[in-house]
Structure 1
């Protein structure tokens, strides 16, 4: 069986278990995970509709020829001069879903696409993909793991290049340029590069800018690239010469928080409990108010996807889930400190994808 056939089979098992009659996906990550591609997405309704026994595309005629090179799924085509209404009715009839009682909608699709579907099924209840496509995507298979692991190796090399290049007087953008060049050398595209020096590091999502690195700066480097459809993500810390006052204590606290989360992350544990394990370490050290974001996020086709490790998440972690563990402490006007690793959850706990230590990197001056 092809990967798509296996995933469709697993999706239909999930549909049966959840009483779902129809799953409707728009162009995006869910569709790409299921099929290995997604057609061009614009304002024209383009929907993959999966019923209990077969699947069909609601397909704009303008895009049909290009999409046909990627899939042999049946198309119900519609043209601009007629609109999608009749083609949607045809698709529902082909799937025997005209009287569907429960419909699952892609939470990332355009609102007008979702309303088009719901308008055609006025008697149906609706939900999002958390128990169907979303649940399946959270558990990575061997091929996904291999691609994520290779991207982690590439991310390691980009981080090593950045750490080796750091010098006083170098701008944050120049550090990012080094990172991008290393990604390119490994055949990857830069996904993001946060370089936050000195007080800029206290902004968790700092926009890398023209500030020049100074002696005594702590530097947050949070980077990710993408190759073969999958991304990477990692954060490490550097200091330029002598660390700023209090830095070494904060680094030790954040490292303990990472270790606490790694120890707590086991199959069957709720995501909120892993978040709490790290958060409690930081709070007990007196820095609780300075840990201002969730502990982590899933990583797969998207850089941010379920599971999300928050203080309120009831998601039960399971083998094969891939997610970040990235506690941080952000001291306004002084510095920020975040340590991040991506892990895949195994039966006996998390496997870290990176091979780089989380130690403080000191740039000699």
Structure 2
């Protein structure tokens, strides 16, 4: 059985919850409150079948055992989760007040980090029942909660990256000219699934002037000979994300197209070579941006250089100016500089990278050169 097929254990989830409670205490918090979403899944292995208006709340405190409050109708699913053995599960019934059920799990005057995805009605309900409690977002107080991956997580991310690479190697074999962007996007989605993805999150196909929009949704534009085409695609495999971008040209590129692609390629490579433990996240952005700016395209690089990836395809840490936190081994993030010439074309090259003990390692290995397609 390969590493990505081995499920996480109760001990894995117990260690994650203990670490999260300790991190909250180190931040001066009385605990961490987690509602349905990626944090809850990462901490407990539990993902409610449907995220509804009913309160589900994981309470982590350094001075108490983990507590999971669930609607009674969802208790069987919670009890079957891999991390159920590491928490005490309590429930509440429809027709009763879930916030009254939750308040005994909290310090009456405590300060807590709460999931970014928590519904406002739940936060307001907790505040109404325990008016002396205080709250801040997980991203504000504990942004690196899931940032450092363990070996099993790294194996999953590596497998997802390999599947995305296999997808790219196949997509460049299909016809581009005369087809709509949506046709190529459908091919990307099909290939991602064929190579093992259980979920496809995005298939950006930006041809010609549409490539100058970094988050262009594939549309009805017909791809023409001479177009540059930005391909950005990914999703989840074994519960962990892939995200890669390559820019191809339909037929022979112009000298300008080659020049822009070469600049982006140099920026991406230079930023990758800068990765090492202890470097500030913002420095990765600065290195890539410096290359593009010195080439005269600084105003056309209009987004951050990268984002973290794990159980979601966008999460902390972010490679952006102002993010002073240092990288540490096990962090995983994208490096994806780009140049966007409005009304004409765009170029982006993206790999997922992990920080190692002495540098960085890519999870994508497809050619960074300008691939010619038909």
Shorter-normalised TM-score: what interval?
Answer: over 0.9
Equivalent pairs, count? 359
For 1:304, which of 310, 314, 320 is the aligned residue? 314
TM-score under structure 1 length normalisation: 0.93
Alpha-carbon offset, residue 133 of structure 1: 5.5
User: Which residue in the other structure is 1:4 paired with?
Assistant: 13
For 1:56-95, list aligned pairs within 5 A: 56-70=67-81, 71-72=84-85, 73-92=87-106
- Give the match for residue 252 of structure 1: 262
User: For 1:107, which of 101, 106, 116 is the aligned residue?
Assistant: 116
C-alpha contact 2:167 2:195 (8 A) present in aligned 1: no
1:195-251 deviation line (CA, Å, top 9, x unaligned) = 111111111001101222211110100011321111100001111112145101101
Partner residue of 1:340? 350
**1:75, distance to aligned residue in structure 2 (A):** 3.0
The answer to whether the 8 Å contact 1:76/1:88 transfers is: no
1:146 and 2:155 equivalent? yes
1:214-363 equivalences under 5 Å are 214-244=224-254, 246-363=256-373
Cα offset for 1:114?
1.8
Moved more, 55-64 or 296-305: 55-64
List per-residue Cα deviations over 1:97-121 (Å, max 9, x = no partner): 3342x21111221122222233333
Aligned counterpart, 1:25: 34
- Alignment check: 8 A CA contact 2:329 2:355 kept: yes
Distance 1:47 1:167 in 2: 48
The whole-number CA distance in structure 2 between the counterparts of 1:125 and 1:98 is 10
Give the secondary-structure state (helix, strand or coil) at the position aligned to 2:221: coil
Moved more, 243-252 or 293-302: 243-252
2:180 aligned with 1:166: no
Match of 2:207 in 1: 197
Q: Which runs of 5+ in 1 are unaligned?
A: none
Runs of 4+ in structure 1 deviating by more than 6 angstroms, as ranges, are: none
Correspondence for 2:4: none
TM-score (structure 2 length as normaliser)? 0.91
Deviations 1:89-144 (A, max 9, x none): 3433xxxx3342x2111122112222223333333343332487642310010000
Determine helix, strand or coil for the equivalent of 1:32: helix
Matched, 1:54 2:65: yes
Distance in 2, Cα, partners of 1:324 & 1:209: 25
Q: Is the Cα–Cα contact under 8 Å of residues 76 and 91 in structure 1 kept in the other structure?
A: no
- Give SS of 2:253's match: coil
Q: Secondary structure at the match of 2:172?
A: helix
Cα distance, 1:180 vs. partner? 1.9
1:59–1:76 CA contact under 8 A, matched in 2: yes
Within the alignment, does 1:176 sit opposite 2:185 as a pair?
yes
8 Å Cα contact 1:58/1:77 also seen in 2: yes
In structure 2, distance between residues paired with 1:19 and 1:305: 23
- Is this contact kept in 2: 1:57–1:91, CA < 8 A? no
Cα distance in 1, alignment partners of residues 103 and 176 from structure 2: 63
CA distance in 1 between counterparts of 2:213 and 2:232 reads 12
| Root mean square deviation, CA, Å | 1.8
Greater alpha carbon shift after TM alignment, 7-16 vs 295-304: 7-16
Aligned-partner SS, 2:196: coil
d(CA) in 2 for partners of 1:118, 1:292: 40
Gap runs ≥5 in structure 2: 1-9
Shift of 1:77: 1.9
